[in-house]
Amino acid sequence: MAAIPPGAWLGLLGGGQLGRMFCMAAQSLGYKVVVLDPGSDSPAGSVADRHVAADYLDPRGLAELAAVARAATTEFENVPATALDYLARTARVTPAAASVAIAQDRISEKTFLAGHGFAVAPFAVLRSGADALGADLALLPGVVKSARFGYDGKGQARVRTRDDVRAAWDDMRGQPCVLERMIDLACEVSVIVARNEHGAAATWPAAENRHRDGILDVSIVPARVAPELAARARSIATGIADALDYRGVLCVEMFVARDGALLVNEIAPRPHNSGHYTIDACVTSQFEQQARVLAALPLGQTRQHTPAVMVNLLGDLWFADAAATTPREPAWQDVLRHPEAKLHLYGKAHPKRGRKMGHVTCLGATLADALATARSVKAALGIAGASEL
């Protein structure tokens, strides 16, 4: 496939922050971007060269995108596979609909991973109340997760007994689920990998991820794990991309168990929140790489040039306290006074608690410096957990 040169139009399904950062990276390379998203002032739609406000399955919207875009990608995994298949009739589409479909469903994802020899947490599929009541006791304590549409810890319940599993199953209203054994975690890491149509792959350093209330709170990069473990995490990510014959950018989230096991938690067929640090800390960002693979350009160098700590900015920051109902703008000067804190705001009009509104990447000559800045930024903005960093 010949490269699509700068100046051409690239298409994007989805209007969120991942799409916004893709647009900016692609535009910086000289591409024009058309975004298909139902929202009216979405983070990506507001920076795109053109915004088609239509549903992902709207034939008119898809046709409008197909008429201009030489190639198209997606910013989130829940875009219907049929939309990608439709676009693939006239445009180059990465990743392939089949790769996206595997990651849309925890059952197909875990079955695929285990079937290809990648270690995952022990799990069982629940398709009925009887499955729930008969759950394997070796999987308890555990977590019940809905097979589809879960994110940021939503659609999950912690369970200790078979009765808990049954109650969790009932709460899921008949949706297929997985029951996964609770892993005693030393830490969590993720690796972003990009792979092109020739099978060339490049990974970024492993990120160490801390979650709060099921939502990513900070990513510390490089992860503070043994070099051997970090190398293994990167090779697992490449192995998964190979097994999927993947084209595009993929994130692999992993558990590091206290007994030393490295288990694949989930995969995201797109750039990922834990890879935002690559914008400021690496030669090539995950978003530039997404554009490069889409346009059939050579992969960019993924080397990290500066230690980094990414701090997520959630909508909670816009509310002075738990009782507040009217949002107010956070004191950004507390972030901007740090010369090595890079503020990224997604332009979302309506802050909501738990909603990702932006992030700050704290850089430093050493990881200790970056952590110190992250602590200071967190404390100044009133984000919990500054002292735990």
Between 32 and 270, name the residue whose CB sits nearer to Mg ion: 270
Q: How far is the CB of 375 from Mg ion (least distance, A)?
A: 24
Q: Mask 195-234, x = binds ligand ADP (CB under 6 A)?
A: ----------------x--x--------------------
Between 34 and 189, name the residue whose CB sits nearer to Mg ion: 189
Q: Which residue type sits at 58? A: D
**Position 265 contacts ligand ADP (CB under 6 A):** yes
Q: How far is the CB of 4 from ligand ADP (least distance, A)?
A: 32
Query: CA-CA distance, 271 to 249, in Å (whole number)?
Result: 6
Q: Mask 120-139, x = binds ligand ADP (CB under 6 A)?
A: -x------------------
Contact predicate 34/69, CB 8 Å? yes
Part of the chain binding ligand ADP (CB under 6 A), chosen from 85-93, 144-152, 312-320, 380-388: 144-152
**Position 150 contacts ligand ADP (CB under 6 A):** yes
Between 50 and 210, name the residue whose CB sits nearer to ligand ADP: 210
Binding ligand ADP (rule: CB under 6 A), the pick from 37, 77, 105, 188 is 188
Q: How far is the CB of 266 from ligand ADP (least distance, A)?
A: 5
**Position 77 contacts ligand ADP (CB under 6 A):** no
Between 253 and 280, name the residue whose CB sits nearer to Mg ion: 253
Considering CB under 6 A, how many residues would be counted as binding ligand ADP? Answer: 17
Q: Which of 339, 345, 298 is nearest to 317 (CA)?
A: 345
Binding ligand ADP (rule: CB under 6 A), the pick from 80, 134, 153, 176 is 153
Q: How far is the CB of 246 from Mg ion (least distance, A)?
A: 18
Q: Which residue type sits at 182? A: M
Phi first, then psi: give them for residue 215, nearest 5 degrees.
Answer: -115, 140
Phi first, then psi: give them for residue 298, nearest 5 degrees.
Answer: -60, 150
188 makes contact, choosing from ligand ADP, Mg ion, none, with CB < 5 to 8 Å by partner type, with: ligand ADP
Residue 169: which residues within 8 A CB-CB, separation 6 or more? Answer: 126, 129, 131, 132, 144, 177
Between 201 and 267, name the residue whose CB sits nearer to Mg ion: 267
> Contact positions toward Mg ion, by CB under 5 A?
253
Crossing angle of helices 59-68 and 81-88, in 10° steps, is: 40
Q: Which residue type sits at 21? A: M
Residue nearest to ligand ADP (CB): 183
Binding ligand ADP (rule: CB under 6 A), the pick from 77, 109, 180, 208 is 180
**Position 151 contacts ligand ADP (CB under 6 A):** yes
Q: Which residue type sits at 5? A: P
Query: CA-CA distance, 85 to 61, in Å (whole number)?
Result: 14
**Position 143 contacts ligand ADP (CB under 6 A):** yes
Between 253 and 288, name the residue whose CB sits nearer to Mg ion: 253
Part of the chain binding ligand ADP (CB under 6 A), chosen from 89-97, 183-191, 220-228, 351-359: 183-191
185 makes contact, choosing from Mg ion, ligand ADP, none, with CB < 5 to 8 Å by partner type, with: ligand ADP
β-sheet with 92-93: strand ranges across: 50-52, 32-36, 9-13, 71-74, 92-93
Residue 361: which residues within 8 A CB-CB, separation 6 or more? Answer: 276, 277, 279, 280, 281, 308, 309, 310, 311, 341, 342, 344
Q: How far is the CB of 272 from Mg ion (least distance, A)?
A: 9
Q: How far is the CB of 121 from ligand ADP (least distance, A)?
A: 5
Q: How far is the CB of 36 from Mg ion (least distance, A)?
A: 25
Token pair listed for 70: 């030489």
Q: Which residues are near ligand ADP by CB under 6 A?
A: 121, 143, 145, 150-153, 180, 182-183, 185, 188, 211, 214, 253, 265-266
